[in-house]
Structure 1
Amino acid sequence: MAGLRSTSRVRQARRNQDWFGPMVKSSPRRRSLRPVLQINPTLRRRFMFTPPHPLVEFGHESLCALFVTELEITGASISVSGRHGRQSTVCASGPLAARLDALHFELGEGPRWEVLASRTAVLYPDLACVTDCRCPIFLGAARGLGVESMFSLPMLMGAALVGVVDLYSTSPRTADREFISHGTRLTAFVAGSAVQNALHSAENHSSLESILSPALRREVHQATGMIISQLGVTATEAFARLQAHAFSSGKTIQEVAHYVVARALVLPDDSE
């Protein structure tokens, strides 16, 4: 039995390294829960338990709900990022959070990408007052959806940046030191569960995807591959074609990918 457990741990470690690289181990030591003692007593009693796995585990909904409740924001989404730009959306607290998550993916810009590039928090407490930023198209689209403030926090496991927590509010709000500190503690607290959920989704190809848990967006990757084959372009250009068609048609990139995979849509060859 001990040999089987050892073999299972080795396999899990290899899967983790394939997704995230060598920095993330499959069975990290349980991090101290003291930093989250400021979480309100009801949530603390609910989440502070000892599961079979050495990581603190939550369901998809609980992960995002924790941020909404604790930080008193409108919504949240959590994404895990691996090597080679692979991304998995673990959860979104509602349709608007899911739409903001999709916008990052469709536009290739936004606070999440800034965090992945800088490894630091990106804060926009009042979108109406932003005059200089690296993602003007994204922020304009977010305001069009009724979003007035956004905060994106890096999700770390040790020295490895494994994802981003995106928070938003439909009204301007201050991101003071207490807000950032508490958000950072919560992000560290849920990182292990977010990674495990992403790995499970990557391994389980029968996992159902939904608007609130789009997971790996397998149809987008399928559609990208089909465009590479049809047009003889690179993966980067194929994905850019999907993005451009989604933007110009007013559809989400998932919708366009679905049409491509179903062969109901063939993107034109611009070289002809």
Structure 2
Amino acid sequence: MTKQLAGQLVREVVADGVGVAVFATDSTRDLVFTSDGVAEELDELQFTLGEGPCLDAYRFHRPERHDDMAAGEALARWPLFASEALSVGAASLYAYPLCVNPLDGGGVPFGVLELYGRSPVALTARDDVTCRSYAHTIAHAVLSELGSAYAVTSGSDVGVFRRGNVDIACGMLAAHHGISVDEAMVRLRALAFARQRRITEIARDVISGERFETDLH
């Protein structure tokens, strides 16, 4: 479903390729899907260099839309990445956070949907709305499909993957509570012990929207 949705999105908007990645922290991620070699190269470049629209979309919980990577803003914010992106054939880049159960219209992202264009062409307002809608749908598809051998299905239609759900939950809690990922892991373990539940079950609750506002302070 993720592959199908991503393919549909590229056909609907002004883009030439797409990638989907999930994060545990901004330095730990899994690349879920890319439409082509350029999208894969863009993902690797950002994590090698530690900068770029995909990382900032995740870090700051907001879309990043850059219709011309050769323009001043992109070069000023990501001088290394912008020039490398142009060299591999990406003249425009757009990144949208992946969230489930958004809070107050936002939510804590666990991944990013990223699109690129070979030409410096801006997304229209309609394209932007389309990308936001697909990002929400793809978020659910990613969680339900990743690692079917590790799937843990909750009472909803959203699944999580057994090996990655704890890391994703820690990243979400860290961002929401303003703490480090390591501290989030310590508190998640303590909460699981106190409630006599498996940590994977607690992590599943976090991914489903629970933030344990009082228990984690």
Contact 1:90 1:197 (C-alpha < 8 Å) held by counterparts: no
- Number of residue equivalences: 146
Higher strand share: 2
Query: Which residue type is aligned with residue 3 of structure 2?
Result: E
Aligned residue in 1 for 2:95: 152
User: What letter is aligned with 1:184?
Assistant: R
Is 2:36 the partner of 1:94? Answer: yes
Matched, 1:136 2:79: yes
Counterparts in 2 of 1:129 and 1:88: CA distance versus 1, 3 Å? same
- Describe the shift of the 1:88–1:156 C-alpha distance in structure 2 as closer, same or farther (beyond 3 A): same
**Unaligned stretches of 5+ in structure 1?**
1-57, 205-215, 217-272
Q: Show the counterpart of 2:24.
A: 82
1:162–1:195 Cα contact (<8 Å) kept = no
Structure 2 alignment gaps of length 5 or more: 102-106, 152-162, 164-217
> Does the CA contact (< 8 Å) of 1:115 and 1:122 recur in 2?
yes
Which structure has the greater CA radius of gyration?
Answer: 1
Structure 1: distance between partners of 2:29 and 2:8: 22
Secondary structure of 1:152's aligned partner: strand
What's 2:185 paired with? none
CA 1:80–1:129 in structure 2 vs 1: closer, same or farther (change >3 Å)?
Answer: same
* Superposition RMSD in Å: 2.3
The alpha carbon displacement at 1:133 in A equals 3.3
Q: Which string of whole-angstrom CA distances, capped at 9 and with x for unpartnered residues, describes residues 104-141 of structure 1?
A: 22111111111112101111111122345321111110
Task: Check the 8 A contact 1:115/1:154 in 2, yes or no.
Answer: yes
Match for residue 144 of structure 2 among 189, 196, 201: 196
Task: State the 1:61 CA deviation.
Answer: 2.9
Quote the residue 1:168 is aligned against.
116
In structure 2, the CA distance between the partners of 1:84 and 1:150, relative to structure 1 (3 Å rule), is closer
Residue 161 and residue 129 in structure 1: after superposition, are their counterparts in 2 closer, same or farther (change >3 A)? same
TM-score, normalising length: structure 2: 0.61
Deviation, structure 1 residue 164: 0.5
